[in-house]
A = this chain, B = another copy of it.
Amino acid sequence: MHFFDRLADRIATADSVVSVGLDPDPARLPDSVLDADLPRWQFNRRIIDATHEHAACYKPNAAFYEDPDGWRALEETIAYAHGKNVPVLLDAKRGDIGNTARQYAQILDEDEGPAADAITVNPFLGRDSLEPFLQRADRGVFVLGRTSNPGGEDLQDLELASGEKLYERVVHLADLWNGNGNVGLVVGATNPDELEEIRELVPDIPFLVPGVGAQGGDAEAAVEHGLADGVGLVNSSRGIIFAGEDAATRRDDSGDAFFKAAGQSAKQLKQRLNQFR
């Protein structure tokens, strides 16, 4: 089954386009998980328990799992999310060539252990660097298109001789690379006009829109332009998973209040986004 069909089913079931970012910064984990064998996995398990009813997908960022225990925690997390019928988008921003690209793509391969359903990739090395991902018609491939960080301008905003900006060219390339119908785009939420413009360039490609918090002002644009035929994702990471982060809840041995706050934050974001769907 194609990734975006599975995602559409999940969006319908959860009545939500919320992507919950699982970025378990070790410095911010609550006391209640610190004694576990794998604190990051314990943290993610409780976040998933608290939020899965409101989650269209989980988006672990690979940066937070790059050590031996981290990869164990990530594999457990992927399996657990799947047990709740929630797909997993690995935010890895990978891009490399030849046999290395094929090796990176194994994270999408169930024969090698718990597998992500989709991944984010970096387009700078061009089509062949993404081919091992694109070939997997059952897996989603979200190409970085336009990021909203300050340095996003350094390359992405450069004007080409053709008159396009570089990010517009990347958006067109992503469309060309979409022969298997499994390509999405990562498009930042800070500039609603840009989001609208990119949507007009590629009417049929689902976006992953990061950077929308429960109280953010860009929720309407993220939903209006981020979804293609109702399918797309609006991500919040720290705004959900650390919503319960005040001194009292962090030190609470049970963790109940901490994780309850995460569940409430996910629900609030879902409801806020659903106003515009």
A residues apposed to B, CB below 8 Å: 23, 25, 61, 63-64, 66-72, 75, 93-101, 103-104, 106-107, 112-113, 122-130, 144, 147, 149-156, 158-163, 166, 169-170, 173, 238
Known interface pairs A71-B68, A96-B61; A127-B151 also in contact (CB < 8 Å): yes
Known interface pairs A158-B160, A158-B169; A124-B122 also in contact (CB < 8 Å): yes
Instruction: Give which listed residue, B23, B100, B159, contacts A61 with CB less than 8 A.
Output: B100
Specify how many copies of this chain sit in the oligomer: 2
Q: What are 28 A-B residue pairs whose CB atoms fall within 8 Å in the complex?
A: A25-B99, A25-B103, A61-B103, A63-B104, A66-B106, A66-B107, A67-B71, A67-B112, A68-B68, A68-B71, A70-B71, A93-B94, A98-B149, A122-B122, A123-B155, A124-B156, A126-B152, A126-B154, A126-B156, A130-B151, A154-B173, A155-B166, A155-B169, A158-B160, A160-B160, A160-B161, A161-B161, A161-B163
Inter-chain CA distance A150–B162, complex, in Å, is: 21
Inter-chain CA distance A23–B103, complex, in Å, is: 10
Inter-chain CA distance A34–B66, complex, in Å, is: 24
| Residues of the B chain whose Cβ atoms lie less than 8 Å from the Cβ of A128 | 149-151
| Residues of the B chain whose Cβ atoms lie less than 8 Å from the Cβ of A64 | 100, 103
User: Which one of A95, A125, A153 has the greatest number of beta carbons of chain B within 10 Å?
Assistant: A125
Instruction: Give which listed residue, B96, B151, B173, contacts A125 with CB less than 8 A.
Output: B151
